[in-house]
A and B are shown apart, each in its own frame.
Chain A
Amino acid sequence: MLEIKDLHAEVGGKEILKGINLTINPGEIHAVMGPNGAGKSTLSYVLSGRDGYEVTSGSVLYKGEDLLDMDPDERACEGVFLAFQYPVEIPGVATATFLKTALNAQKKARGEEELDAMQFLKLVREKTAELGIKDDMLKRAVNVGFSGGEKKRNEVLQMALLQPDLMLLDETDSGLDIDALKIAADGVNRLRSPERSALVITHYQRLLEYIVPDFVHVLADGQIVKSGDKSLALELEEKGYAEISAA
């Protein structure tokens, strides 16, 4: 699914990623944990193609193709989805319009038939019902005036609609209470399948109680310093990053 080899990246001339190696196979969930400033968000932005994150060397293959060569929208249409740590507010654009535009843009790129207003409404209502999201959110401008929990729910709703193959979750737990966290995790777990993979980026072990990873990696100073199974997350929680990173 995803093959990251010796990835180096800079932000504003400063090297943040210093040789990342990581392979994610279909169906696997990988967690990347690390202290603030380790490069966690940079990794998610590099993978989703944000401007200003410059890859200086290394490669990323996604489904056998060069991911770094694609524009952000092409990556999304190929099935990469970034759930934002801080979802962006877009005044003047209704959530329903945004969702329909995104879904149809992806369908168009894949040569599938686009949904009309009725078909879309039916689909989105199914998803909101499944996820326990109030339909009222669809009428409001994207993330404008949303609580932290509502913003994350909106991310989960987008994921449920767009059905990505590779989910990148950037600190999805930040700013969430336990109930909201469960809803977010539930949304991800519903999408788990043998074909679908996820990279869960988090500072705390808490989220991993709900989204149970197959592998856990520790990211420190731009490199993966340790990998293990889910028990590594518990170990981190107990001992702290300093000790593990030094080991």
Chain B
Amino acid sequence: MTSLTPLAQHYLDRFDEALKSLPGAGDRHVESLRRQGLDSFAALDFPTKRIEEWRFTNLAALTKAAANEAETIPAFPKIEARFSSPHEMVFINGRFSAEQSRLDDLPVGITILPVSQSLGQGSVLNFDETETRSLVSLNTAFMQDGVSLHVEDGIILEEVLTLTFRNDPSTEHGRHVRNLITLGEGASITLLERHEGTGRYFTNPVTRISLDRNARLQHYKLQQDSKAAFHLALVDCEIASGACYDNFCLSIGGQISRNEMRTTILGEEAESHLNGAYLMRGHQHCDTTTLTEHTVPLNNSSQIYKGVLDDNAHGVFQGKIHIFPDAQQVAGDQLSKALLLSDRAAVDCKPELEIYADDVKCSHGATSGELDEDALFYLQSRGIPFEQARKILIEAFLADVLDTVKHDDVRTLFETLSTAWLSGTQADEE
């Protein structure tokens, strides 16, 4: 066996010690799950470019060194945008903060707990022997906390429930949260998941979602991690008949970030919508990897991703639609567009359709290009200065994907942040 990466070895070396302070310490079942996770991770190590799903994202900057715990990195100016929601659950450095959370006014029928307090209650932490994603196994081994949310049948929450994951400078490098979200029949809720922070850290959130019949989840994510951060997130979502999963991710932060999402459509009339925008500059790298599985007939999925890449930024989009045999009369659409603002910016796209049914309607498209020179000149010739003209065109490029955010307040927040990004509020200080 080849030797492990320094960071993987570091995790292995400190597991026994870490176990003592992780939730479930002393609980033999939990410890055994964690140990299984650790063994699985040790066998796989961090993903490398040799793995097909990771061929465009190189984690060497993360894994080549053991955690640089003493390293201090100056804070990056964060784009400030006010967003108030009455319900907020806050995690600081991967651990629940009761003082900063506001969860008292949630209606009856919504149960939300930090995972650290609900570990005894069944399937929050699990270990799947067929799991091949080492980042999930790592998360199982080192899981610190997370959100355990259950919405009962028929419960509808109009207000946004915010889940904030804040990362402050700390001697602890890794932040491993595990979220478990289940919606009962006909339940409906809007989540805003925010990630933000300062300094160099590695965050590895793993989220499992299950939507019962006719449930509806609007899952919005704002990734505004520090530009020295590594953000490697995984979402698995199962969608029952008539249910709708609507995901939108706005990625602005991170040195290397990745959103890996799997949605499995299990019923008729079910919908999976994965959309997002990524705005990157400097040497930032953002990877979006999706898999949508249509296992039964009569349902639909869509994906629209748009990226704006400046300087040496690098975008990756890998989207796969998998239609099982007999999953007839299914519609799946996928679109990836990237706008390159610099000669050195680049994007890699790999759209994949794997279709085993014959009566389906699928489309996919991937484009990348520069700003339209003709349009720029047209705007300038009307008196609009170059920088402003450029901004107008980039905002226009993003407009249709931001329009897929159905919740007005969240859409406004995302538009405000995009505009601020364009103005260079989050300037590079590297």
Contact = CB atoms under 8 A, between A and B. Distances in A.
Given A51-B373, A72-B377, A93 B396 contact: yes
A105 interface: yes
A33 interface: no
Interface string A60-84: 0000000000011101110001101
Interface in A68-107: 71-73, 75-77, 81-82, 84, 87-93, 98, 101-103, 105-106
A223 interface: no
B383 A105 contact: yes
Quick one: which of B372, B373, B380, B396 has the most chain A CB within 10 A? B380
Nearest to A80: B381
B400 A72 contact: no
B380 A76 contact: yes
A211 B393 CA distance: 34
B43 interface: no
B378 A73 contact: no
B388 A101 contact: yes
A17 interface: no
A82 B393 CA distance: 20
B356 interface: no
Interface in A126-142: 141
A93 B392 contact: yes
A103 B381 CA distance: 12
A92 B384 CA distance: 17
Contact of B374 (A88, A106, A158): A88
Contacts of A73: 380-386, 389
B43 to A, nearest CB: 48
B393 A90 contact: yes
A72 B380 contact: yes
Contacts of A105: 382-385, 388
B396 A102 contact: no
Given A91-B396, A92-B397, A93-B396, A50 B377 contact: yes
Nearest to B385: A73
A218 to B, nearest CB: 26
B380 A88 contact: no
Size category of the A interface is: 20 to 34
Contacts of B392: 93, 98, 101
B interface, over-half SS: helix
Contacts of B383: 73, 76-77, 102-103, 105-106, 109, 162
Interface in B349-395: 372-375, 377-386, 388-389, 392-393, 395
Contact of A48 (B374, B381, B384): B381
A189 B400 CA distance: 39
B154 to A, nearest CB: 39
Contact of B381 (A72, A91, A93, A101): A72
Contacts of A101: 384, 388, 392
A71 B380 contact: yes
Nearest to B397: A92
B25 interface: no
B382 A76 contact: yes
A72 B384 CA distance: 9
A189 B383 CA distance: 22
Contacts of B18: none
A161 B383 CA distance: 12
A141 B203 CA distance: 41
Given A76-B380, A93-B396, A88 B375 contact: yes
Nearest to B389: A73
Contacts of B379: 90, 98, 102
Contacts of A98: 379, 382, 392
Q: Which 9 residue pairs across A and B have the least CB separation, nearest first? A: A92-B396, A76-B383, A102-B382, A106-B383, A88-B378, A72-B380, A92-B399, A73-B380, A105-B383
18 contacts: A48-B381, A51-B373, A73-B380, A73-B381, A73-B386, A76-B380, A84-B378, A88-B374, A88-B377, A89-B375, A91-B396, A98-B392, A101-B388, A101-B392, A102-B379, A102-B383, A103-B383, A105-B382
Interface of B: 372-375, 377-386, 388-389, 392-393, 395-397, 399-400
